[in-house]
Amino acid sequence: MTASFALKLDDFEGPLDLLLQLIEKRKLHISKVNIAAVTDDYIAYLSQFEHLPKHETADFLVVASTLMLIKSSSLLPNLNLTTEEETDAAELERRLKLYQYIQEVAQKLKNIYGQNSLYFREPNKNIVPVFVTTPEITTPNLLMAVKTVLQSLPKLELTPQVIVKKIRSLQETIDDLASRIQRAISLKFSEFAPRDKAEKVNVIVSFLGMLELVKQGMIEVEQHTHYADIDMQSTRPGMPRY
């Protein structure tokens, strides 16, 4: 069995610890609505670290992707999530509550047992250890025992190397989209975030950036049919409408 090591940066350890601290900082209870409220804080905090260990980055991206999904659902009440997406959102909430419970129990145990020693070491009696051989301990037997132990060790399996690309922050995406909309008469969402080139998480960040500009009244969007491309136009006075 291989040991699992958790990433620790500054004051948080792992994606769940960061998310829990952001929620507790605002003095909120764990729920889908409150989880959505700290999505921007989570992504902003994560964007400060440009060189995360590759073996830990995937965990943070999975949590970030689920957070964006939850926020999209809260901003668009009519958005229908798939069964898998609903399960991912509920699972994140369940894991976060479980992590909070474990943290509370660990703190209580630390308060109880951290003040006093659980055992006392017996004083040294100055006993000199003596190695006594038996007829069974021979050189061939020792070599056979070592060979058996070596054969029982698990084989080293190399996992394929994965290159994790850095994702743009939500604020960078909003600024980029606002700039492009101001220069163009209109823009399609697929032109800003083409699905054949962008990572899934970047498409989600681009969609959240578009929703934020709609909320601020800077752009108008229109989708003629389900799953069709989204047309975006600037609300700047004097801009032609098509």
Please state the φ and ψ torsions of residue 138, each to the nearest 5 degrees: -125, 165
12 near 99, Cβ under 8 Å?
no
Per the listing, tokens 């004083």 go with: 123
- What is the location of CATH 1.10.10.580 in the chain? 170-234
Phi, psi (deg, nearest 5) at residue 234: -75, 145
- For residue range 46-55, list pLDDT tens digits in order: 676 666 555 5
Q: Assign 18 a pLDDT band (cuts: 50, 70, 90).
A: low
The 10s digit of each residue's pLDDT in 151-192 is 887 777 777 776 666 667 888 888 988 888 888 878 888 888
Q: What per-residue confidence (pLDDT) applies to 147?
A: 84
Residue-wise DSSP of 217-234: TSEEEE-SSTTPPPEEEE
User: Which helix (DSSP H) or strand (DSSP E) does residue 167 occupy?
Assistant: none
Residues 6+ apart with CB under 8 A from 106: none
pLDDT for 90: 77
Q: Among 61-70, 84-93, 183-192, whose mean pLDDT is lowest?
A: 61-70
Residue 32 pLDDT exceeds 70: no
Name the CATH topology of 170-234: Arc Repressor Mutant, subunit A (1.10.10)
